[in-house]
Amino acid sequence: MKRIVKVIVVMLVFVGIQKSEAQKKKNIVFLFADDAGYHDFGFQGSKTFKTPNLDKLASEGMVFKEAYTTAAVCGPSRAGLLTGRYQQRFGFEENNVPGYMSDSSKLLGDDMGLPLKEKTIANYLGNLGYQSIVLGKWHMGNADRYHPLKRGFTEFYGFRGGARSFFPLTQKQTADKPEDRLEKGYKYYKEPSKYLTYDIADEACDFIDRNKKKPFFMYVSFNAVHSPMQATPEDLAKIKGLTGKRKILAAMTLALDKACGQILKKLKEEGLEDDTLIVFSNDNGGPDGTHTCNYPLSGCKSNNLEGGIRVPFIMKLPSVIKPGSKYEKDISLLDLLPTFVNIAGGDASKIKNIDGVDLLPFITNKNKKAPHEILFWKKENRGIVKKGDWKLLRFPDRPAELYNIKEDESENNNLAYQYPEKLKELFTDLFTWEGELERPLFMLKRKYEVNAMKRMDDKRTPVLDVVE
């Protein structure tokens, strides 16, 4: 009898240790905006767009000045951050939007998606005992085989496509575009009774409530502030001094900020704030400059000037990251996967073939070097490399351009003819990297690629909103 009691005591102690270890694991909350302008947040300098909750998060954590996404459009940038690998390594080079693709593409329609051989952040965190959820926009493939629940996530509340209405859809709309329908798990779900940005926040808080005693990962993939341009009357009424698209966008941004604030408040109420790594960022630059503002950067979504690929980025981790601090060396959204894996108690150094790095040693000054000596981008025949302060842009139809981003972040002074040796060096780096890549699985029709280049030419001069 005594032996049985002793065994039971040992088992209880072991279970207690396991629970204690689980409680020590940091929760991870990734708040991800869609198509926001680089300047369109208070912590980024905007005077007209009100974002008090994100501004507070910035004051409590670290703001990164040179954070880069892996692509200037939504789908590929998500493929890169979810895998920690340059998406060109597995052929996800262009947006997987049916109807925009060339007939010569390997994959078309719903078959365009994140290749099944690629592991996601959720796969690695699941192996470390984490519950995980995607909330909102998926955009990694509409076919069932690409579904979040088959890519390591334990829960999904959102839609499979790349954009949809912020208000309830009709039956005809969901029949015409099934990828726009809301799902809970694998099941189609009722349309929300409220504005979708607020609905996503409610579901996020519900997930926290159900998983507060377990380590969890939340990928809160808002479709705000992507088109369609829709805001609630209540939020519009709060926007003063703006008109037209800028007013609507400001109201959409206000809703995004309130939704983030609701999630942050829930973490605090549940006593989870000190044990949670929180990251806020955006998938690519603001679209076309008619309503978003990427100041002081030139360019916009779909091109690889700074305004298309540099994004707002905040990271908060109490007792680790100094409140109100800034980081000015290059980082990439590729770095999310290894950073999350290591903070979860894993060892990202054992993961083969990833391109990201764990940011924590760099931002806590344990490693004095820059996280990345060199970064690359590629979209069809366009290629970009940033090495230290230097950035090369290669085009199929015009001479290459060379900029010193530290001295000229607006990319107004092309130095290609003044520094031919630097140009040659970066071309060599780019060619070497491209030799490691796979052919694209799907490519844009030529007319859309031409349109993207035209937008780059039209948005060369950074414009600060006239009200500011």
Per-residue pLDDT of the chain (468 residues; tens, 9 = 90+): 555 545 454 444 444 444 444 447 999 999 999 999 999 999 999 999 999 999 999 999 999 999 999 999 999 999 999 999 999 999 999 999 888 888 888 899 999 999 999 999 999 999 999 999 999 999 999 999 999 999 999 999 999 999 999 999 998 999 999 999 999 998 888 898 899 999 999 999 999 999 999 999 999 999 999 999 999 999 999 999 999 999 999 999 999 999 999 999 999 999 999 999 999 999 999 997 678 999 999 999 999 999 999 999 999 999 999 999 999 999 999 999 999 999 999 999 999 999 999 999 999 999 999 999 999 999 989 999 999 999 999 998 899 999 999 999 999 999 999 999 999 999 999 999 999 999 999 988 888 777 778 878 888 888 786 556
Q: Which among 353, 320, 354, 358 has a CA at the least distance from the CA of 338?
A: 358
Element (H, E) at 402: strand 401-404
Please state which architecture CATH assigns to domain 26-372. 3-Layer(aba) Sandwich (3.40)
> What pTM, to 2 d.p., does this model score?
0.93
88 and 109 in contact (C-beta within 8 Å)?
no
Calpha distance 263→281 (Å, rounded): 15
Q: Which amino acid is at 254?
A: L
pLDDT of residue 51: 98
pLDDT of residue 103: 81
**Exposure letters 66-76 (e unless 16+ CB within 10 A, then b):** bbbbbbbbbbb
Q: Which among 208, 284, 269, 198 has a CA at the least distance from the CA of 28?
A: 208
- The pairing of strands 390-394 and 313-316 is unpaired
Structure tokens at 33: 């905006």
Structure tokens at 446: 């030529």
Angle between helices 336-343 and 74-83 (to 10 degrees): 30
Residue 379 pairs in a beta bridge with 382
Helix H segments across 47-157? 52-60, 74-83, 121-126
CB count within 10 Å of CB 446 equals 10
How many CA atoms within 13 Å lie on the side-chain side of 133? Answer: 27
pLDDT of residue 468: 60
pLDDT of residue 104: 81
Instruction: Delimit the domains of the chain by residue range.
Output: 26-372
